[in-house]
């Protein structure tokens, strides 16, 4: 079929192409295609994203870009500008820091531009790099028609750091059909099982979890820990992990691991709003997270006394894990409560609708394009 000129054409620009950001983009694009929008994605080849997008029937254009800014940035901006001239979208939606930097430099206010940081880059950096990243975000906000944050805490951090932007908060959502209590799991062996799903990197804090784990083992004989994911810290983490820790590698579908777990943990140092806690709760599994932006907002308020611990505190993390592993009725109650919470507040359909509302607002204001797509038969 061909599309009416009044059907909005959305260009998503993203780097990275794996991990949580890639899953958010893939889920959002699939929902938008199903709703009848015309969608194109510009991203690097590789990772898990391009395969997922093509499986959903999305047009994917190769945009070679590194994950971090550097001397290649001018060429990356020029390549993206060429894509913009070829695609001629109605609206650009840029995901994460690098794509947000390149897209806003390429567009410079010429089109409605939505920037979604998925956690602020200056929180991930230190020293001069952090100062430069914050300086750019303050400057680049003038070229974002909307900045979409995945948590209220992420928005507040931006404001507190001097970013003056037209904000919108749209919490992350997950597929509550794919992530559900019923289905296959990956359980094997006796003893309580703790699962951590996430990229093996400093942000996700698996090193803190490995520091906490010997105390959990001392309190609970036979306890097992599985780290699901890959990343730049994989070799370092393996070198310091006890024998009871299993590195499962990247999983195309983490749902069986969530269902196998007695308890899920994500000890992040910073977040926008991670998907793993939402996915775990959708599978009716209790989850322990650290008290950082976005993570605390992902929990039902009633669970904070049991499931929220300070970041970078192995002792507090060990105590929380041990207490929950010893209390099966509490885990069951928290799991059921978490499932209800995700269905009410973090269903993927709600997220996709909220993002579409942002598009409708911008395109209605600036182009008169109706975000109520109508397919025109050939």
Q: What is the pLDDT of residues 315-360, one digit of tens each?
A: 999 999 999 999 999 999 999 999 999 999 999 999 999 999 999 9
The CB density around residue 166, as the number of other CB atoms within 10 Å, is: 11
141-180 pLDDT, tens digit per residue, is 999 999 999 999 999 999 999 999 999 999 999 999 999 9
362 near 109, Cβ under 8 Å?
no
Instruction: Tell me how far CA of residue 274 lies from CA of 106, 118, 267, 294, 350, in angstroms.
Output: 28, 9, 11, 7, 17
CB 303 within 8 A of CB 285: no
In this predicted model, what pLDDT tens digit does every residue of 83-123 receive, in sequence order? Answer: 999 999 999 999 999 999 999 999 999 999 999 999 999 98
Q: In the sheet that 91-95 helps form, which strands lie side by side, from edge to edge?
A: 59-62, 38-43, 9-14, 91-95, 113-116, 146-149, 167-169
Instruction: Quote the mean pLDDT of the chain.
Output: 92
Contact yes or no for 307/319 (Cβ under 8 A): no
Instruction: Name the DSSP class of 174.
Output: B
User: What pLDDT does residue 70 have?
Assistant: 80
For residues 26 and 55, give the distance between their C-alpha atoms in angstroms, rounded to a whole number: 10
Residues 6+ apart with CB under 8 A from 211: 314
What residues contact 261, with CB distance under 8 A and at least 6 apart? 193, 194, 195, 226, 280, 285
Helix or strand or coil: residue 294? coil
Q: Is 184's pLDDT higher than 80?
A: no
* Residue 73: other Cβ atoms inside 10 A: 16
Question: Is residue 64 a contact partner of residue 79, using CB atoms and an 8 Å limit?
Answer: yes
- Of 378 and 25, the one with more pLDDT: 25
Share above pLDDT 90 across residues of the chain, in percent, rounded to a whole number: 84
What are the helix (H) ranges across the chain?
19-34, 49-55, 73-87, 96-107, 121-124, 127-140, 152-160, 206-219, 234-239, 255-260, 275-282, 295-298, 304-307, 314-325, 328-345, 348-366
CA 9 – CA 38 distance, rounded (Å): 5
Which value, to the nearest 10 degrees, does the dihedral of the CA atoms of residues 300, 301, 303, 304 take?
Answer: 130
Nearest by Cα to 337 from 374, 369, 301, 311: 301
- Taking only the tens place, the pLDDT of each residue in 210-245 is 999 999 999 999 999 999 999 999 999 999 999 889
Residue 186 has pLDDT above 80, yes or no: no
pLDDT in tens, 274-327: 999 999 999 999 999 999 988 999 999 999 999 999 999 999 999 999 999 999
Is the pTM of the predicted complex or chain greater than 0.85?
yes
Residue 365 has pLDDT above 60, yes or no: no
CA distance 178 to 283: 9
Give SS3 for 367: coil
């Amino acid at each position: 079929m061909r599309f009416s000129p009044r059907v909005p054409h959305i260009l998503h620009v993203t780097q990275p192409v794996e991990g949580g950001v890639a899953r958010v983009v893939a889920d959002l694009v699939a929902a938008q295609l199903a709703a009848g929008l015309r969608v194109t994605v510009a991203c690097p080849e590789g990772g898990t994203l391009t395969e997922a997008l093509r499986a959903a029937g999305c047009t994917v254009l190769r945009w070679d870009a590194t994950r971090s800014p550097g001397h290649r940035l001018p060429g990356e901006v020029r390549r993206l500008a060429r894509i913009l001239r070829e695609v001629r979208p109605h609206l650009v939606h840029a995901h994460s820091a690098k794509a947000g930097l390149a897209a806003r430099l390429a567009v410079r206010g010429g089109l409605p531009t939505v920037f979604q940081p998925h956690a602020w880059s200056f929180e991930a950096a230190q020293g001069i790099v952090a100062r430069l990243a914050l300086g750019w975000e303050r400057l680049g906000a003038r070229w974002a028609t909307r900045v979409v944050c995945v948590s209220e805490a992420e928005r507040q951090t931006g404001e507190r750091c001097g970013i003056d932007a037209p904000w919108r908060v749209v919490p992350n959502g997950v597929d509550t059909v794919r992530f559900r209590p019923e289905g296959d799991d990956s359980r094997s062996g006796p003893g309580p099982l703790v699962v951590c799903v996430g990229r093996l990197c400093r942000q996700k804090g698996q090193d803190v979890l490995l520091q906490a784990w010997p105390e959990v083992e001392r309190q609970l004989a036979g306890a097992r820990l599985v780290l699901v994911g890959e990343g730049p810290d994989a070799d370092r983490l393996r070198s310091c992990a006890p024998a009871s820790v299993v590195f499962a590698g990247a999983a195309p579908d983490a749902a069986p691991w969530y269902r196998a777990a007695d308890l899920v943990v994500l000890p992040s140092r910073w977040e926008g709003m991670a998907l793993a806690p939402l996915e775990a709760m959708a599978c009716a599994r209790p989850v322990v997270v650290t008290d950082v932006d976005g993570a605390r907002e992902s929990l039902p308020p009633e669970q904070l006394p049991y499931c929220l611990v300070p970041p970078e505190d192995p002792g507090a993390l060990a105590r929380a894990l041990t207490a929950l592993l010893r209390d099966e009725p509490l885990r069951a109650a928290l799991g059921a409560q978490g499932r209800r919470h995700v269905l009410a507040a973090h269903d993927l359909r709600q997220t996709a609708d909220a993002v579409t509302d942002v598009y409708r607002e911008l395109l209605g204001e600036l182009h008169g394009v109706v975000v109520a797509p109508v397919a025109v038969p050939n």
